[in-house]
Amino acid sequence: MRDPEEELSQLQSSGLLRHLRRIESPQGIRVKLSGVGECLNFSSNDYLGLSTDDSLKSLYQKHIGHYGVGSGASRLVCGTMAVHLELEEKLAALKHTGAALTFTSGFATATGVLPALCGKDDFLILDKLCHASLIDGARLSEATLRVFPHNDLDRLQSHLEWASERVGAGGRILVVTESVFSMDGDLAPLDEICDLKERYRALLLVDEAHAFGVLGPGGRGLGAEPGVEGRIDLQMGTFSKAVGLSGGYLCASRSIVDLLINRARSFIYTTAPPPALAATLRDALDLVCGPRGDALRDDLRRNRETFSADSTSAIHPVIIGDNEAALAASARLLTLGFLVPAIRFPTVPKGSARLRVTLSAAHHFEEILSLKSALAQLASTR
């Protein structure tokens, strides 16, 4: 039988062993790291700084006072409370879709939605850099899978052509991509992807995990941009990043959402999110997609421009290549007081280990400048 110790030492020798970092303070721009002390956090997805926002904290406390702390059952048993439906109605209204469904996480959304919509008669076509949750959802589906090189429209088209020649009358072709890619921070050409999926009568799912609350009109994601709005069949995302709380969502037509309620196993066979969380999310959407959100997005945009003239999102990779070198760079930054994670295989392709800098609306101008000079110093000594 395989010895787990041996597997761990193999991970260690290839520079791929991972450890949990222990944070002693609440989340924020400054966190207290166990054994290190206070450092500046450039690794969180809390893009608007809302995870510790005073107004959301007091709303959450108020809702806990009313609803308590748990939900008691799954959504289909007796766990669906008015607030879950209010949250979903608000989200559908914001996204201009017929309906919306919420899940316990973005991961659960992806692994529930793809197998619920696609089976062995169907075709799933994914961007090569899609998030692990989408890949796992695709694998669970038993559909025929095709992967196109990142943002490669010619290859997407040839896969669509290939699938459309094979799909039966009752079959389905679903294209899956992200609007902002999680490890590169670049954007998908959604307009052209919509043109292609329409030409081949395929459906399109776009994961907006890193865009919702950050980009697009009113922070509603890149699926809300003119030219694309109304054309994306399934808009997926998470409340765990810019919205500052947790949970996942899927916005689509009423019939797709009703089908998911009947078939998505990660929705059906899990306890409903606590109602106090759903109520806080409902309130948080007003904040994120309203004037306060706009002001925070302005702060974030200024910070992005300070960091890089060609910033496209809040995510800025610094590609290093080698695993050990990326780890060493991250460790060096930590000694200078900056928490910037090294990202390695299998999160990113082999040979493209990197530092992943994420910016928040809550960073200060000087903090970003000091990180930039530390990175420049690092590059010159490497």
Ligand X SMILES: *Cc1c(COP(=O)(O)O)cnc(C)c1O
Enzyme catalytic residues: 45, 131, 178, 182, 207, 210, 241
* Distant-in-sequence contacts of 146-154, Cβ < 8 A, 24+ apart: 150/181, 150/184, 151/127, 151/186, 151/188, 151/189, 153/189, 153/192, 153/193, 153/196
What is the token pair recorded at 94? 């914001």
Q: What minimum distance in Å lies between the beta carbon of 275 and ligand X?
A: 18
- Rule CB under 6 A: is residue 39 a binding residue for ligand X? no
What is the token pair recorded at 372? 């930039």
Question: By C-beta, is 184 or 207 nearer to ligand X?
Answer: 207
Binding mask 164-193 for ligand X (x = CB under 6 A): --------------x---x-----------
Query: Could you give phi then psi for residue 100, rounded to 5 degrees?
Result: -150, 155
Q: What minimum distance in Å lies between the beta carbon of 366 and ligand X?
A: 29
C-alpha distances in Å from residue 275, one per residue of 64, 104, 246, 247: 8, 12, 12, 12
- Rule CB under 6 A: is residue 133 a binding residue for ligand X? yes
Q: What minimum distance in Å lies between the beta carbon of 374 and ligand X?
A: 26
Question: By C-beta, is 81 or 126 nearer to ligand X?
Answer: 126
What is the token pair recorded at 104? 């316990």
Question: By C-beta, is 105 or 323 nearer to ligand X?
Answer: 105
Nearest to 282 by CA among 115, 45, 87: 87
- With tokens 């399109």, the residue in question is 204
Binding piece for ligand X, criterion CB under 6 A, among 34-42, 102-110, 167-175, 364-372: 102-110
Question: By C-beta, is 129 or 194 nearer to ligand X?
Answer: 129
Which 8-state DSSP code applies to residue 177?
Answer: E
Helical H segments across 142-212, by residue range: 153-166, 190-199
Q: What minimum distance in Å lies between the beta carbon of 129 and ligand X?
A: 9
Kindly report the three-state secondary structure assignment for every residue of 45-100: CCCCCHHHCHHHHHHHHHHHHHHCCCCCCEHHHHHCCHHHHHHHHHHHHHHCCCEE
133 membership: H or E segment, kind and range: helix 132-141
- Rule CB under 6 A: is residue 283 a binding residue for ligand X? no
- Rule CB under 6 A: is residue 238 a binding residue for ligand X? yes
Q: Using CB under 6 A, pick the residue from 84, 95, 131, 316 that binds ligand X.
A: 131
Q: Using CB under 6 A, pick the residue from 43, 105, 313, 323 that binds ligand X.
A: 105
Q: What minimum distance in Å lies between the beta carbon of 194 and ligand X?
A: 19
The Cα–Cα gap between 138 and 150 comes to: 17
User: Do you find a cis peptide bond into 349, omega within 30 degrees of 0?
Assistant: no
Binding piece for ligand X, criterion CB under 6 A, among 20-28, 63-71, 86-94, 105-113: 105-113
Q: Using CB under 6 A, pick the residue from 84, 197, 210, 356 that binds ligand X.
A: 210
Query: Could you give phi then psi for residue 324, rounded to 5 degrees?
Result: -65, -40
- Rule CB under 6 A: is residue 282 a binding residue for ligand X? no
- Rule CB under 6 A: is residue 240 a binding residue for ligand X? yes
Question: By C-beta, is 32 or 139 nearer to ligand X?
Answer: 139
- Rule CB under 6 A: is residue 248 a binding residue for ligand X? yes
Q: Using CB under 6 A, pick the residue from 209, 272, 362, 375 that binds ligand X.
A: 209
- Rule CB under 6 A: is residue 107 a binding residue for ligand X? yes
Q: What minimum distance in Å lies between the beta carbon of 186 and ligand X?
A: 13
Question: By C-beta, is 107 or 123 nearer to ligand X?
Answer: 107
Nearest to 160 by CA among 208, 117, 203, 205: 203
The residue ranges that bind ligand X (CB under 6 A) are 105-107, 110, 131, 133, 178, 182, 207, 209-210, 238, 240, 248
